[in-house]
A and B are shown apart, each in its own frame.
Chain A
Amino acid sequence: MPRPELMVFQPLEVLPGEDRVLARTGCPPSRRGGFGVEAGKALGTLSETAVPRAAVLTMRILEIDEELIRTGNIRIQSRSLAGSLSGAELVSLFAVTIGPGPEEEARRLQQEGYHTASFFLDGASSSMVERLSAEVLRRLASKQGVHMPTARFAPGFGDFHLSYQRDIIELLNAGAAGITLQEDSCMLLPVKSGTGVIGWIRPIS
């Protein structure tokens, strides 16, 4: 059984683009107005408060059919995930977080009445989690050699139940990256965290 790997990132490595923040906060180009300034400020705050980390584990898929995947000591019942991993030999499970700093700052801003700043910081933080997940995929892809990725999938998509986060967090020993799970709701702490699954396909010869 391979051991999970801890990946550490500098905030600037995974800082999202201003366009992603504005899109996430409901400011598409046609309704952008002067909100670029707010997005820029939020990104500045993120670069000072975020502590991006990831826990990653890549394993062989032991069994897969139309609705069941078995890897390591996890069995996942999900037609959506099985479809996404179709043809994959390997699977990477990962958990990412940008740490508690950004959400604490957003809460402080909210309490002090800076609602717009808080809103944009929250949006920027979510965008950063996405960017961090993409960066994990890039790092994994660069190590994979011939294997090519499937789509990045996550608990909560389709019928891939959120409760599988419990197994993933445990298997990854995600506490080392600072990620824990609320037992009752299966929500992650810090809030700006996420988990994901990527399959790896060997090209048809």
Chain B
Amino acid sequence: MDQADKLRGLLGRRVVFLDGASGTELMKRGMPRGSRTELWALDNRDTLMEMHGDYVRSGADVILTCTFGGTGIKLGDADMVERVNHELAVCALKAASGSKNAYGDPVLTGASIGPTGRLLHPSGDLSWEEAYGQFRKQASALADAGIGIFFLETFSDPRELKAAALAVRDTCPGGFISAQMSFETHGLSLSGTSPTALSALMEQLPVDACGANCSQGPEELLPVIQEMVRFSGKPIAVEPNAGLPVDGKWEMTPERFAEWMEDFAWGGASLIGGCCGTGPEHVREYVSMVGSRPVSEVEKEELKLLTSVDRTVRLDQGLLTVGESINPTGRKSLQKSISNGDFFAVVSLARAQGRADVIDVNLGLEKLLPRGFVHEVFSRLSIGPPLSVDLSGPGKIRTAFQEMGGIGILNSLIADEEFISERIDILLRHGGYAVLLPVDRRGPGDTPEERMDILKRGLAILEERGFSGKRVIADPLVRPVATGDGAGVLFRTLELLKKDGHLTIAGISNVSHGMPGRGPLNASLLAALGTRGLDLAIADVLDPGIVSTHRSVRILDGRMERLEMKLPELDPQSASPDFMAILRKSIIIGDRRQTEASARELLEAGTDPRKIIETGLAPAMEKVGELYSRRKLFLPHLIAAAEASRVLMSLLTPRLEEGGGPESRGKVVLASVRGDVHDIGKNLVALFLSNAGFSVVDLGKDVDCRTIVDRAEEEDADIIALSALMSTTAPEMEKVVKLVRERGIRAGVMVGGAVITGDYAGSIGADGYARNAFEAVSEAVRILEGG
């Protein structure tokens, strides 16, 4: 039996214990701050082997390789991936070889794989395929060394996690994979993904377990795990940090940590381990405290969810709407935008339908689509409402599902073996629901009974290929009344489908095709189908009649409350649009195209560019900041909003220059400090400061203190802004402050980053501290004003 099967067998008997951290533990054992852990470990194998040995002796069932940062991007050199991962895997395998844990079971070896550290497009410049390739290469090296167990840890973006999971599965078809994300104190990932959404997605992906690790301490992670256990049919893994570092030490003693781990075991977690700050002494304590026990039985709740990176929509809970406006049929301007490769027009149309629960995306003649168009559209729509992929070509469908990062709908399949075979593997691989039409090669069924027969044949084909009928949404088929068809067949088919317990969907607008005054007819059909139990209505959500009818159906059904807050909508139906208000909303929802269009309207109407900044941009960004702090918006939204602001500023700047040029509010020299290669937060700070009128000199990441201070002196900077994500690199900030004071430079020093606190900033003599990019702007202003 291989190691993956041994782990599956062990999970059938009892809770499994993972080891503790590698990075922080090696640091305790002499690894200098700022080292690349994997490379240092290879150069100091005795220390690495000693650490692995201590974990084996502490009672862990599974020890993990020291390969968290083992992708080519993280290592900084793609050529090192094979050697580094292979050798580190061999070290861990050797340490565990022949060993038995405290209960006499053989100690197993798993691989740790972490994110690349770069953001996926459009938030960053990493493509999904490139991410997949990075993980594939790392997984191959690990598998070649004999690894069959993989823990994908600390991911914050479900799209990147999916790339990693599929890459590992393709490399190691029989391997054990646990797909884990890190969650913030508010219970969502940095991208805005909820534990429920992660559980639902992983339920459909080819992984063995899912879970959470890192984040903060166990207390913060407990509700996350409880939520995942409740909604997941797969084992749940948890590896919390030992609290937070205080004065260079992790705050939780092994005893206190172990008490929390017992709570996780009672809560239904199956795999229990430790992340940052935990060591063999923590493992020894929680192995003893949790004891040998079967996984706690917790009542499960099966949810049917559609998800995106940041949204979750529950099916079978009353009528939902699917916005149909992204469909170029009969829309010449959209046809033109698509043929010109203007994907922002499509994104803008999706954002305008923000009130829809799901957005349907039909891009017309797929052969004529510009290269990369599907990739651009679906990656950009990975935030916002979940998506319905109304495409026909298997290649395009594959790209769409690959990019979306959640559970979408494939619209649609017909009951034909060949047609289904060409497409269903995509859903089996990426997750998702399929719409099944009562249509086969001969055409649609004419009577309700014929339609049901065709749908049943289609279901049988799907189930034969391993696709569960629970993931099928049946379409009773709306025909145009203009052709002489009444709605009787439609109503009866829907009734039969609901009687059999199927999820259902219908394209409402089809009914009025070729008719005058389509709106009232569409609304009437929506009401009729909605009150007969239809689950999803593909409809024109920009039509106020449809919106009010949908609302009425939900009131009648007793289901008015929304699952999640939605942002304010644009109002394109308005007779006299308030373009300043539309501009503000466009920035908030990150709609670059609408931001630009609104700004052009305002400028054409003679609005002073300064007024656009003062009454449009500034309050919009203030609102974004407020929504971010209330955890209604997340990292991808921030980036999208900042990008929309940048588009606006690039439009306004030439006009401001005509009037004497924009005055810089001050010069900021910005850097991630020596040893710190994390720059996502720093880049956001740069973007926000620039948008706020500061002149920013960005020195990049891993910058030594002398370079920073030299450049600040050279530029006569007003502010030096420093970022550090890790507790190990934070002391570099103090060096910068000291050097600034020694040289008597006038610049104020402002610090921030994940581990930095206001108290820490004060303790090193910094002039300012900001928790995030928004605060960085107000803090910079405060420092300049001498506040």
Interface residues of A (CB under 8 A from B): 17, 19-20, 23, 28-30, 83-84, 86-87, 130-131, 134, 137-138, 141, 148-152, 198, 201, 203-205
In the bound assembly, the distance between CA atoms of A19 and B265 in angstroms comes to: 18
Q: Smallest distance from the beta carbon of B722 to chain A beta carbons, Å?
A: 27
Q: Which residues of B lie under 8 Å from residue A28 when comparing CB positions?
A: 219-220, 223
Partner of B102, one of A134, A137, A148: A148
Determine the distance from Cα of A203 to Cα of B100 in the docked complex, in whole angstroms: 9
Q: Across the interface, name the chain A residue whose C-beta is closest to B217.
A: A19
Size bracket of the B interface: 20 to 34
Residues on A with beta carbons closer than 8 Å to the beta carbon of B104: 203-205
- In the assembly, what is the distance between CA of A134 and CA of B265, in Å? 14
Residue of A nearest to B256 (CB): A17
Residues of B within 8 A of A86 (CB): 294
**Nearest residue, chain A, Cβ from B106:** A204
Question: Bound complex: CA of A137 vs CA of B262, how far in Å?
Answer: 12
B103 near A204: Cβ-Cβ < 8 Å: yes
- Report chain B residues within 8 Å CB of A203: 100, 102-104
Judging by beta carbons under 8 Å apart, are A151 and B223 in contact?
no
Query: Are A151 and B103 interface neighbours, CB within 8 A?
Result: no
Q: In the docked arrangement, what's the CA distance between A198 and B59, Å?
A: 18
Chain B residues within an 8 Å CB radius of A130 = 259
| A152 in complex: contacting residue of B216, B220, B291, B294, CB < 8 Å | B291
Please name all residues of chain A whose beta carbon is closer than 8 Å to the beta carbon of B59 when the two chains form the complex. 148
Give the residue among A84, A131, A151 with the most B Cβ atoms within 10 A. A151
On whether the beta carbons of B185 and A148 are closer than 8 Å, the reply is no
Bound Cα distance from A141 to B105, whole angstroms: 19
The reply on B293 being an interface residue by CB < 8 A is yes
**Given A203-B103, A204-B103, are A151 and B259 also a contact pair (CB < 8 Å)?**
no
The answer on a CB contact under 8 Å between B292 and A134 is: no
Contact of B185 with A149 in the complex, beta carbons under 8 Å: no
Q: Is the CB of B292 within 8 A of A201?
A: yes
Is the CB–CB distance between A137 and B288 below 8 Å? yes
Residues on A with C-beta less than 8 A from B220 are 28-29
Q: Is the CB of B219 within 8 A of A151?
A: no
Contact A151 B265 (CB under 8 A): yes
Q: Which of A20, A23, A138 contacts B288 (CB 8 A)?
A: A138
- CB of A198 within 8 A of CB of B291, answer yes
Please report the C-alpha to C-alpha distance between residue A24 and residue B621 in the assembled complex, in whole angstroms.
39
Which listed residue, B102, B187, B290, touches A151 by the CB 8 Å rule? Answer: B290
Contact bitstring B141-164, A, C-beta under 8 A = 1, else 0: 000000000000000000000000
Q: Bits for B279-318, please: 1 = Cβ < 8 Å to A, else 0.
A: 0000000011111111000000000000000000000000
Q: Return 30 A-B CB contacts under 8 Å, by A number.
A: A19-B217, A19-B219, A19-B256, A23-B222, A29-B220, A30-B185, A84-B293, A84-B294, A87-B292, A130-B259, A131-B259, A134-B259, A134-B289, A137-B288, A138-B255, A138-B288, A148-B59, A148-B102, A148-B103, A148-B288, A148-B291, A148-B292, A149-B292, A151-B265, A152-B262, A152-B291, A198-B291, A203-B100, A204-B104, A204-B105
A34 → chain B closest CB, angstroms: 17
Binary interface encoding of chain B residues 81-111 relative to chain A, with 1 for a CB under 8 A from any of its CBs, else 0: 0000000000000000000101111000000
B29 within 8 A of partner (CB):
no
At the interface, yes or no: B186 with Cβ under 8 Å from chain A?
A: yes
A151 to B267, CA, bound (A): 13
Cβ distance B383 to chain A, nearest Cβ, rounded Å: 23
Which residue of A has the minimal Cβ distance to B105? A204
Interfacial chain B residues near A29, Cβ < 8 Å: 185, 216, 219-220
- Contact B289–A201 (Cβ < 8 Å): no
Contact A20 B259 (CB under 8 A): yes
**Chain A residues, CB < 8 A from B186:** 30
Q: Other than the known A23-B222, A130-B259, A151-B292, what 4 A-B pairs have Cβ atoms closer than 8 Å?
A: A30-B185, A148-B102, A149-B292, A151-B265
Please report the C-alpha to C-alpha distance between residue A134 and residue B262 in the assembled complex, in whole angstroms: 10
Q: Which residue of A lies closest to B288 (CB)?
A: A141
- Min CB distance, A159 to chain B, in Å? 13
Contact with A along B240-264 (1 / 0, CB 8 A): 0000000000000001101100100
Asked if A137 and B289 sit within 8 Å, CB to CB, the answer is: yes
Closest chain-B Cβ to A81's Cβ sits at a distance in Å of 12
The residue among A138, A148, A152 with the most chain B CB atoms within 10 A of its own CB is A148
Which residues of chain B are near A30, meaning CB under 8 Å? 185-187
Closest to A147 in B: B102
Bound Cα distance from A17 to B256, whole angstroms: 7
CA–CA, A158 and B513, complex, Å = 61
Measured CB to CB, the nearest residue on chain A to B186 is: A30
Q: Which residues of B have CB within 8 Å of A17?
A: 256, 259
**Chain B 103-122 interface residues, beta-carbon cutoff 8 Å to A:** 103-105
Measured CB to CB, the closest approach of chain B to A30, in angstroms, equals 6
* Contact residues, B217-248 vs A (CB, 8 A): 217, 219-220, 222-223
Q: Please give, as numbers and ranges, the residues of chain B lying within 8 Å of A152 by CB-CB distance.
A: 262, 291
